[in-house]
Amino acid sequence: MSIPEWLQAIQTYMKMLQYNHTGTQFFEIRKTRPLSGLMETAKEMTRESLPIKCLEAVILGIYLTNGQPSVERFPISFKTHFSGNYFHHVVLGIYCNGRYGSLGMSRRSDLMDKPLTYRTLSDLIFEFEDSYKKYLHSVKKVKIGLYVPHEPHSFQPIEWKQLVLNVSKMMRTEVRKELEKFARDMRMKILKPSSAHSPTKERPRGKSLSPRRRQGSPQRRACKRDKSPAVLDKKGDLAPLNEVGYQLRI
């Protein structure tokens, strides 16, 4: 099986698990945990076969690509703005044989996996930005992490945001220049984790598009939520948005 076929098989497996629309987080993902602990959570995902969201998909994608040393994996996070609210989303960037792509899960089919065909990292990021525009979301920030080690027993945490770009205040030429410099440095393996030994406290994230969470569950309060785009109207609760996702009524 070729690498593109292998990646497609992984993405197909994720889609079979389905996106988690329930509002209950089935797996706790703490970004500051060592990689070894996150890989144990990924094993649990394969055993339980429950629906997942974007952050869980990144961890599962890392776990399922550990056997392919020629495949480099790194997190890509997006902060977007729509209708007065901020939303967060994360996918797993892939680099192999001079091409970029991604794996992930989202309510929207064009905000998750991308084929391994993009010549540069900036081409991949701009593809996501163009996809967001279809849902009237403006991308405010893009965060790129470092390559994730292929050693599943590593005690090193994932570096989630080595590069942070405030793309809403930058020209595309500036964004491309910064991304390509960063991508070149990553390929040369000269970048070092900035917070591997002193993880910073994660900042609160934007408003959730998932159904209202019950207040009594400590596990659910500890978990992160996916905020990929949904459609908004002017009433007072959540309603189904066909088979794709949920609709938040304000």
Hey, which residues are catalytic here? 54, 89, 106
| Burial tier of 92 (Cβ tally within 10 Å: 0-12, 13-18, 19+) | buried
d(CA 241, CA 236): 15
Residue 78's beta-bridge partner residues?
89, 142
Closest to 84 in 3D by CA, of 138, 41, 45, 126: 138
d(CA 64, CA 58): 10
Query: What is the full DSSP assignment across 93-104?
Result: EEEETTEEEEE-
Return the structure tokens found at 240: 């189904």
Return the structure tokens found at 15: 């889609």
User: Sign of dihedral through CA atoms 35, 70, 141, 165?
Assistant: positive
Listed as own residue / partner, the contacts of 188-194 with beta carbons closer than 8 Å and 24 or more positions apart are 189/147, 191/146, 191/162, 193/146, 193/156, 193/157, 193/159, 193/162, 194/159, 194/162
Q: Given the DSSP bridges, would you call strands 232-233 and 245-249 parallel, antiparallel or unpaired?
A: parallel
- For the chain, where are the E strands, in sequence order? 72-82, 85-96, 99-103, 114-118, 138-144, 163-165, 232-233, 238-241, 245-249
Closest to 61 in 3D by CA, of 15, 122, 126: 15
